[in-house]
Amino acid sequence: MSGYEEQYVKDAFDSNWIAPIGPNVDAFEKEVAEYVGARGAVALSSGTGAIHLALKLFNVGSGDVVFCSTFTFAASANPIIYQGATPIFIDSEPESWNMSPNALEHAFEDAEREGKLPKAVIVVNLYGQSSDMDIILGICKCYGVPVIEDAAESLGATYKGKASGTLGKYGVYSFNGNKIITTSGGGMLVSDDIEGLERVRFWASQSRDPAIHYQHSQIGYNYRLSNILAGVGRGQLKVLDERVAMRRTIFDRYRHALSNISGVLFMPEASFGISTHWLTTLTIDQQLCGVPVPNIIDALAKDNIESRPVWKPLHLQPLYSRCSYYPHSSESISGKIFESGICLPSGSSMSENDQARVIQIIRKCLLGRMQAAM
C-alpha cells in the first residue's frame, strides 16, 4: 500500500458509503480517465467483467466468433464463452510477444473467404507492454471490426506517446491483487464512447430500471466496484508512476546481471512504446544453457522464492483445444516462448538484496551447469 489509501477508505466509513456506488467510485473513474486521457471510465468488480460488457456492447452472441490473443490468461477469452460465441486464437510476434499482425491478417483473410467475419478482436497487451496497435487497428479497420484493448497488465505503459488501453474502441484495466496497482479485486472500462459507458454502468448495476420499485427490462450483472475498494484504488493511483519506475528498475537489474549468459533472452521492449515491465520475463534456451526452465523454478523454490512459467497459450489449454488458431508463421511463437519462458519475482517493494538472492541462484544454476559441461 502507498499510505494514501487509508484516508479515502476512512472517508467511505465516515460517510457510510459502503455499497458499490459512492464518491470514491465516481472520483476513481474520473481520475483514471484523466490519467490515461480517455473521455470516460466505469469502475467494475474485475477486468474480466469489463471485457464481458465490452463484448455485450458489440452485440456478441451465440454463433459469433471473436479473434483473441492466445498468449494471455484465460480471463481474456472466457467472456467470449459467456456470450455464447467462439474464440479464434491469434499467435504472438517475436518483436513484442503480443498479437502478430501476420497471423491476424491470415485469420481475417480466411474469415472473409468463409463469409464469417469476427464481431470483435480482443488484443492483449502482455506483461506491461503494448501491442503494435497502429498496424492491428489498420487491419481491423479494413474489415470493419472493432477492437477491445485488454490492457489489464499494462496500465502505465504507452504506445507512441498514448496510454496503453486507449487505442481500441474500449480499453480494459485490472486492479487485481497481482497488478501494478490494486484495489484487491477490481477493474475499469475506459473509452471515448460515453454513451456506451453509460450502458455498461446500467448493466453492471443489475440493469435496474428507473422506477421506485425493482423493475428490470434487460439482463443485468453485479459488476460494480465498492466505494471502499475504489478508495484503495485512488490511493494506489497516486503512486502509479513510481511503481512503473520501480518495475523498470527491477527489470534493468535483472537484464544487467543475466543477459550476458549465453541462451538467456529477455522479453524485448518494442521501439514503439514504453513498457511498465509489470513482470520481468525471459526465455532460457536449454540447448545453449543445458538447464530447462523447471529446474530453475525448483532451484528458486528451494530458497523460498516463487517464480513461474509464462502464460500457457490458450490454444494449448484443454478448455480451448478445439478452437482455431493462427500461428505467426510456420512456427508458433507463443508456443516456443511457453516452452522456454519464465517470470521472475518483480514486485514493486522488492529490495536490491532480495533481487540479488534471485540473481545469484539463477547464475549459479546456469553458469554452474555450463562450466560443468565444459
41-85 pLDDT tens trace: 999 999 999 999 999 999 999 999 999 999 999 999 999 999 999
**Average per-residue pLDDT in the chain?**
95
Confidence of residue 2 (pLDDT cuts 50, 70, 90): confident
Sign of the dihedral defined by the CA atoms of residues 333, 335, 340, 345, in that order: positive
Q: SS3 breakdown of the chain: % helix, strand, coil, rounded to 5?
A: 45, 15, 40
**Which are the contacts of 71, defined by CB distance < 8 A and separation ≥ 6?**
91, 92, 97, 98, 124, 126, 310, 311, 313, 314, 334, 337, 338
DSSP string across 163-193: ETTSSSSEEEEE--TTSSS--SS-EEEEES-
* pLDDT at residue 35, rounded to an integer: 98
Convert the pLDDT of each residue in 304-324 to its tens digit.
999 999 999 999 999 999 999
The amino acid at residue 177 is: G
Q: Which of 19-28, 167-176, 330-339 has the lowest mean pLDDT?
A: 19-28
Distance CA 1, CA 349 (A): 10
Measured CA angle at 187 (ends 219, 236), to 5 deg: 150
Q: How far is CA 61 from the centre of its chain?
A: 23
Helix orientation angle between 23-36 and 5-15, rounded to the nearest 10 degrees: 150
Question: Is the CA virtual torsion 125, 131, 134, 136 positive or negative?
Answer: negative
Report the alpha-carbon distance of residue 245 to residue 346 in Å, rounded: 12
Q: Letter for the amino acid at 50?
A: A
Structural domains in the chain, sorted by start:
5-239 (3.40.640.10), 241-373 (3.90.1150.10)
- Cell numbers for 7: 484516508
pTM of the shown model: 0.94
Residue 374: pLDDT over 50: no
CB 45 within 8 A of CB 233: no
